[in-house]
Structure 1
Amino acid sequence: MHVARERQHDPRPLTRRSLLGGAAATAGAAALTGTAAGPAAATAARTVDVAVVGAGLAGLTAARDLVAGGRTVAVLEARDRVGGRVVNLPLAGGGFTEGGGEFVGPTQNRVKALADSLGVATFATYNAGKNLLYKDGTRTPYATDGVLGSVPPIDAAGLANAAIVQASLDDMAKKIPLDAPWTAPKAAEWDRQTFESWLNANAVVPSARFLLDVACTSIFSAQPRELSLLFVLFYIAAAGDESGVGTLERLTGTANGAQASRFVGGSQQVPIKLAAALGDRVVLGAPVRSIARSGARYAVTADGITVTAKKVVVAVPPPLAARISYDPLLPAARDQLCQRLPMGSIGKAIAVYDSPFWRTDGLNGQVVSDSGVARSTFDNSPPDASYGALMGFIEADEMRAHDASGADEVRAAVLADYAAYFGDRAKSPTSFVLQRWDNEGFSRGGPVAYAPPGVLTEYGAALRTPCGGIHWAGTETSTHWNGFMDGAVRSGERVAKEVLAAL
């Protein structure tokens, strides 16, 4: 098993030219991040059929399908870029790296179809060579292509216990109705306990517990004590498509799992190209402050622009959706739900080198560790290996412990981890990029808003239920690949159908 997983701006209209940087689609970091915009616009007003809040994959997909359905749309985005929790970050020496969602894998069919339609290809995540287990201060390489796949070299009792626990979780996940996990036969029992309490009773061998704890923080960026067992089972079940229920191995795996592939040009190429097709329907630097109904229409007020619409799609994480002022007030169940779905705590630290030197040592750059700040790493080098990049996830307790730390302090701690894993050459990168999602004003964490005990059974029915003419999208609303880019795309497709049927 290998485990993975702001500021305000002047409101400006987003045009095809501003997204693509003119005819040269790859010219500069501005083109990659979608931050190059046209002249500042005065406070504006628009009247459309549908206002979409958020220009991540969910909101942009919804807007695309609504336009295809013959409806007028305005997409309001708080940031000065599109993509939400998907972003390409420029490197000091040229090029870029991915600071948010980047991996795609088997059964993630909708984001792949979207990327294909936009001409964004994929390439395999680097997986040749051995993984590393770093445990109790000891560095142990292990193969990824054995009979049992990628199995960390822990004791036999731990492996046996971990296998039993994984099989039990997969079996329970098969009993979860994906569109309503709160209706599962044992929903009440599973939702009143934490994932930690269940692990305490089942992952009884310390080495097995280590693997399950690392899997949990790598998947959710949250500790087992924070998560409802029911939510964990739903998340496992959702790691599949209409042809089959998900498995824990698909969530955690590389070669045949959720980390199997990456996008050529970086994952943000998908929302950038999607937004380019929408042209000036997308408005950047426009954080939505209020949504108020007046008769049969809604006034969606953002900094610098007010959009009047028949329907509204809110495609931002539930905790951020709750910060918008609604008139009339949202139903109590919806508001209470949003209050109880916190974001995970996550950062990504990418160290760049002249070459991926670990490959010459027979390593693939993937680490599972029991200590340090970055306890799960990947080779984030480009497909041509023109430079080397090591990416480490900083998650859950480790991220929270460093939310207030200076960037230099985090850099030093991460590079110390990389040196412990890969040797002294890792101490001297040519550049270093740190993305702390906890400190992003329009994300406040990631990769997903998760459910603690008691939330799904009490409030889950409000997750996708429209509130009058306000409809909900975002990866947290998806019944497949919840928390992933594929889930975001699926939610946009679902909500567009919902709104088109209601207009």
Structure 2
Amino acid sequence: MADVTVDVAIIGAGLAGLIAAQKLSQAGKCVLVLEARERVGGRTYASAMAGSARAVDWGAEWVLPDFHANMMGLIERYGLELESERASVEWRAPGFSVVASYDELRRSHAGFDYGLTALQAWFERPASGDETRLSVQALLEALIQDSVSRALVELALFPLLGADMAEVAAKALREEIRFHGGNVDLTFSPEARRLFGGFGGLAEKIAQELPAGILRLNTPVRAIRQAGETVTITGDGVSVMAGRVLLAVPVAVLHQIEMSPVIAGIGREASARMNAGQVVKLWARAQGAAPVTSLQTAPPLRFVYSWERDGELLVCAQALVRDVEGQDPAALFAAALPGVKILSASAQNWLADPYARGSWMAAALGAYPPACFAEVFGRVRVIGGDVAAEWAGWMEGAVLSAGQAVREILA
């Protein structure tokens, strides 16, 4: 087993880990990044579908130009190209279907407008009681009596939270609205862009700039032990002694690393259930004309969006694991989009990924608040989009979290 001594060891080469490694190495620190996978990026992952030369995002996909200054800075720095947002939207709730933009639906459907107004009023009131123990479903049932109107609001919420509304805490929704300037309309319908070629390409560009030898792939970390001013990290084939450690891994897998002393709250049960995000992302290569560019509908597929470029029609869908597990992705797309020929389809189940155990962060009902881990535990700090104080669950949050940790180390 090779022994290495560094100033800072970073566990995980997702976006937060890579940004931290880049900034610390530029500041003259001796850094080592240990990544369990054979690739960088973590849940920021892009690859091409069978039969297509174009890479698509299987994980994080959206950036909000009006809010995500750090991500926009990275996109500009690396000369990357953003694509347009979705345009026409079809809403399918039980007993209701309409093609309308978010704004058009709000103007034309009094119940939808009422529900959003009630949600805005709820946000503007001080929190009453423990909102980590109030589910979003219970909140919406209290605010919106009409079932169709409530279903439409839930459809609009799904792409944002990526969870069963009965399992995600109302506190998570309050935080999302806060991130969007306290405005419900901007929360539900912001200007959103995706990156041509996928955000996995951004992670790869950052990794390519790191000094030679500081990134080790295929190296899962098994244990972290603190003793005085030294932290010893034991991984597959390597033992590292570091002055500081940045744990840049999803909160749902923190318990898989043996820690001494134990970080309070990171038990197997608590860690595994912190994140209610349980989205499967599905992609299809298709032929024909999609009737709309976005479909927000009831299960099994809950959010479907498509676009054409260079004569190729690509369709993405988001669904809860339990709704699609064991089913053929092509058949699911065919059922949701009759008249469109599905040429090939695949799915990425982040819940089954041993180094993720969930999709983007949506704080689970009654769970230990993930942001509580965004502090220093001795010489170890947890970073990443899951624990970011701002924009948790977004790539912007990962970048902000990494930047904060770097400033603390360099201070």
TM-score past 0.5 threshold: yes
Q: 1:307, 1:342 → 2: CA distance?
A: 30
What's the CA shift string for 1:299-325, capped at 9, x where partnerless? 111212222211000011112112100
SS of the aligned residue for 1:444 comes to coil
Find 1:387's aligned residue among 302, 306, 312.
Answer: 312
Q: State the match for 1:178 in structure 2.
A: none
The corresponding residue for 1:276 is 208
Counterpart pick for 2:54 among 95, 106, 115 = 95
Q: Percent identity?
A: 25
- Mapped to 1, the partners of 2:157 and 2:387 lie a distance apart of 20
Q: Is 2:110 the counterpart of 1:165?
A: no
Give the SS at the match of 2:3. strand
Question: Which one of 19, 24, 27 corresponds to residue 61 of structure 1?
Answer: 19
For residues 112-149 of structure 1, what are the alpha-carbon distances to aligned partners after superposition, in whole Å with 9 as ceiling and x for unaligned? 1122222223222242xx3212234765322x3xxx72
Structure 1 120/169 Cα, relative in aligned 2: closer, same or farther at 3 Å?
farther
CA distance in 1, matches of 2:2, 2:337: 49
Instruction: State the Cα RMSD in Å.
Output: 2.4
Q: Distance in 1 between matches of 2:173 and 2:116?
A: 17
Displacement after TM superposition at 1:225 (Å): 1.7
Which residue of 2 is the match for residue 236 of structure 1?
Answer: 177
CA deviations over 1:256-285 (Å, ceiling 9, x no partner): 43xx21112211111100011114311111
Alpha carbons 2:265, 2:368 under 8 Å: kept: no
For 1:400, the aligned partner's letter is R
Further displaced range: 440-449 or 55-64:
440-449
The residue number in structure 2 matching 1:483 is 393
Distance in 1 (alpha carbons) for counterparts of 2:120 and 2:55: 39
Give the C-alpha shift of residue 187 in structure 1: 6.1
SS of the residue corresponding to residue 389 of structure 1 reads strand
For 1:63 and 1:117, how far apart are their aligned partners in 2? 17
Aligned counterparts of 1:283 and 1:343: Cα–Cα separation in 2: 30
TM-score normalized by the length of structure 1: 0.75
Counterpart code for 1:388 = L
What is the match of residue 206 of structure 1? 147
The residue type equivalent to 2:222 in the other structure is: R
CA contact (8 A) 1:75 1:282 kept: yes
Contact persistence 1:369–1:375 (CA under 8 A): yes
- Deviation for aligned residue 1:162: 1.7
The letter of the residue matching 1:453 is: G
Structure 1 residues 141 and 444: alpha-carbon distance in aligned structure 2, compared to 1, 3 A threshold: same
**Match of 1:197, as an amino acid?**
A
Q: 1:151 aligns with which of 99, 105, 123?
A: 105
The partner residue of 1:123 within 83, 91, 98 is 83
For 2:371 and 2:361, the matched residues in 1 are separated by: 18
- Correspondence for 2:157: 216
Deviations 1:336-368, CA, capped at 9 Å, x for gaps: 86355134111111111246x22xx5x3x1011
> In the aligned structure 1, how far is the partner of 2:128 from the partner of 2:200?
37
SS at the partner of 1:222? coil
Per-residue deviation, residues 162-220 of structure 1 (Å, max 9, x unmatched): 23223224424xx6xxxxxxxxxx36443342222222211111122102222333222
5 Å matches for 1:263-342? 263-278=195-210, 279-330=212-263, 332-333=264-265, 335=267, 338=271, 340-342=273-275
- Closer, same or farther in 2 for the Cα pair 1:417/1:137, shift >3 Å? farther
Asked whether the equivalents of residues 343 and 444 of structure 1 are also in contact (C-alpha less than 8 Å), the reply is no
Counterpart of 2:345?
432
After superposition, the Cα gap between the structure-2 partners of 1:114 and 1:292, relative to the gap in structure 1 and judged at 3 Å, is same
Counterpart of 1:453 in structure 2 is 366
Are 1:413 and 2:297 counterparts? Answer: no
Give the TM-score taking structure 2 as reference length: 0.91
Select which of 356, 362, 370 maps to 1:443: 356
| Higher mean displacement: 113-122 or 489-498 | 113-122
Q: Are 1:289 and 1:325, in contact at CA under 8 Å, matched by a contact in 2? A: yes
Change in CA separation of 1:59 and 1:280 when aligned onto 2, cut-off 3 Å: same
- Equivalent-residue separation in structure 2 for 1:350 and 1:317 (angstroms): 24
Q: Is the 8 A contact 1:348 1:392 kept in 2?
A: yes
Could you say what secondary structure the match of 2:205 adopts? helix
Q: SS at the partner of 1:103? A: coil
Deviations 1:413-440 (A, max 9, x none): 2321122xxxx2x2x3222121111111
Structure 1 or 2: larger strand share? 2
Q: Distance in 1 between matches of 2:360 and 2:91?
A: 24
Counterpart-to-counterpart distance in 2, 1:305 and 1:149: 55
For structure 2, the 5+ residue unaligned runs are: none
Report if the CA contact (8 A) 2:168-2:276 is conserved.
no
One-letter amino acid matched to 2:319: I
Instruction: Work out whether residues 222 and 344 of structure 1, in 8 Å CA contact, stay in contact via their aligned partners in 2.
Output: yes
Does the C-alpha gap of structure 1 residues 442 and 333 become closer, same or farther in structure 2, counting only changes over 3 Å?
closer
CA–CA separation in structure 1 for the residues paired with 2:185 and 2:229: 48
